[in-house]
Amino acid sequence: MSSSASGRRVSTLRSNLHTSADGRRFSLYAEDERSSSSHQNLRAHQSHRVHAGLDPNRASTGVIWVTEQASKHGYLDEPEKWANLGQGAPEVDHIEGCFERPDSIPISSAGREYGPTAGIKSLRAAVANLYNDDYRKGKDSQYTWENVCIVPGGRAGLIRIAAVLGNAYLGFFIPDYTAYNEMLSLFRNFVAIPSPLSAADGYHIHVDKIAEELARGTSVILTSNPRNPTGHALHPDELALIQDICRDRATLIFDEFYAGYSYSTDCDGSTISAATNVIDVDQDDVIIIDGLTKRFRLPGWRVAWIVGPKEFIKALGSSGSYLDGGTNVPFQEAAVSMLEPAKVKQEMQALQRHFKMKRDYVLKRLREIGFNAGDQAVPDSTFYIWLDLTTLDPPLAKGSAIDLSNGLSFFEALLQEKVMCVPGIFFDLNPAKRRDLFDSPCHHFVRISYGPKMEALKMGLDGIERVVKRARGELGQYDSAIHDEPADDGSQSPKTKSKGHGEQHN
């Protein structure tokens, strides 16, 4: 068809179209659904909105929602003035005893090319060597580079795993990592089944709980160990027993990103891993995911790994070609030297000493403020505290101006102090869509991170202390990090903020 004929055809078609009142839509029909109340009633339903192909509800996970709310109070403009105790990342600057992180990375000619979607062989071999040295000394079956897949971050790794799982019931336990459900819900080749754990024993995964899952036909089990958000790890004997009863019955997927943050062995650098209890590295259906993100304090590098049977690892490598394209090659090359076993051991010792010091500081301050949760609340791993707000002693007087009994109210009160935490409901299975929020067993909890630097922790605990004092009526309404008391003429006048724990913050 000639260009002139094509132009005439387009002109004819356009002349037959009807334009909506706002000029956005063009139709062959003169009527517009916006003029019909019955049509508008249908469009008001979430499932029938104009952009039904997109689901905006997937855009707000816990940490994202927390950040969005804080940004309304100026967090994104001046993040350095905030105590972000909601962050799921450790401090990244130098810690005494830890090896120096590189300020620049050389880029080889290979680093300019596409890398293999399973990762470069040298890094895969370094990971296998580290696991053999830490967890498999004296065992006949040893990991090789073929048992390791390098992935661009933990979420990407979990998505690859989910993509290659067969038809199965997949069990996971709540409370747990807030993104599990969002990621798992993307796939239809298996059914994800959450199992709530009991608050009475600190949300512990008992062996009999695993046995129950197997009895009801669950053939894949996913869990973090150490656990996010509770800060506890399975005892090595219990972990071994769980693997024994699941062997040849279920695939076990262990998220071990917090394995380095262990405080139960005198900070000697020891770490716990399911790799210890594997009998045959190519036959035991045990999949382990970890990386540089948490225990090497390099979240921005997006370098993680999956360890498991060769056949499964091969499938994971292939899935990267259509899911994420693989991991940044120069960062992989730079990571190889970091994984020398003796170097890692020294790193873990320094890491554990430093974060145990911060953990003890935060717990001490919380007890002084009035939160008395008992021994079960003392985390033996991670850099999180799962704080039960109902343990505040003495309890707030009935009718207190500030409600601190649940995670959402506590979070909003902390925003006035430029402090962030994560409400506990985000570690439940999306309770907003299935029941009243007050019915969630996680509703009266918050997760407090001691991942940030000590200065931020001090600022954050001072803010928590002021919020509790204000709720008790010991401080004025405007004694906060954000609001000043209005002057008599209605304008804002500067006011010296109340001091928290002997310190003053503007």
* Per-residue pLDDT tens over the stretch 465-477: 999 999 999 876 5
Residue 38 pLDDT exceeds 80? no
Pairwise CA distance, residues 292 & 304, whole Å? 6
Q: Which amino acid is at 58?
A: R
Q: How many residues does the chain have?
A: 506
Cβ atoms of 459 and 419 closer than 8 Å: yes
> What is the pLDDT of the chain when averaged over all its residues?
87
Mean pLDDT (whole number) for 394-421? 93
Residue 160 pLDDT exceeds 80? yes
- pLDDT tens, position by position, 162-181: 999 888 999 989 898 877 76
The candidate with the shortest Cα–Cα distance to 432, out of 60, 52, 48, is 60
For the ranges 13-17, 23-27, 58-62, 97-101, the maximum mean pLDDT occurs at 97-101
Least confident stretch, 305-314, 373-382, 414-423:
373-382
Per-residue pLDDT at 300: 94
Give me the domains of the chain, ranges plus CATH numbers.
Answer: 56-93+348-472 (3.90.1150.10), 113-340 (3.40.640.10)
Q: What percent of the chain has pLDDT over 90?
A: 65
Per-residue pLDDT at 436: 78
Residue 505 pLDDT exceeds 90? no
Residue 214 pLDDT exceeds 60? yes
- pLDDT tens, position by position, 221-279: 999 999 999 999 999 999 999 999 999 999 999 999 999 999 999 999 999 999 999 99
Pairwise CA distance, residues 285 & 312, whole Å? 9
Least confident stretch, 9-13, 50-54, 267-271, 422-426:
50-54
Q: What percent of the chain has pLDDT over 70?
A: 87
- pLDDT tens, position by position, 176-187: 887 776 777 777
Eight-class DSSP state of 61: -
Per-residue pLDDT at 238: 95
Residue 503 pLDDT exceeds 70? no
Residue 417 pLDDT exceeds 80? yes
Least confident stretch, 139-153, 253-267, 395-409, 445-459:
395-409
Per-residue pLDDT at 485: 45
Better-scored residue on pLDDT, 119 or 41? 119
SS3 394: coil
Spell out the SS3 assignment of 176-205.
Answer: CCCCHHHHHCCCCCEEEEEEECCHHHCCCC
The candidate with the shortest Cα–Cα distance to 365, out of 468, 261, 478, is 468
- pLDDT tens, position by position, 332-360: 999 999 999 999 999 999 999 999 999 99
CB neighbours of 11 closer than 8 A, spacing ≥ 6?
none
Residue 157 pLDDT exceeds 90? yes
- pLDDT tens, position by position, 381-396: 999 999 999 999 999 9
Kindly give the pairing relationship between strand 422-423 and strand 445-449: antiparallel
Mean pLDDT (whole number) for 89-96? 95
Per-residue pLDDT at 47: 60
Is residue 484 very low, low, confident or very high in pLDDT (cuts 50, 70, 90)? very low
Is residue 25 very low, low, confident or very high in pLDDT (cuts 50, 70, 90)? confident
Residue 492 pLDDT exceeds 90? no
Hey, CA dihedral for 268, 269, 272, 276, is it positive or negative?
negative
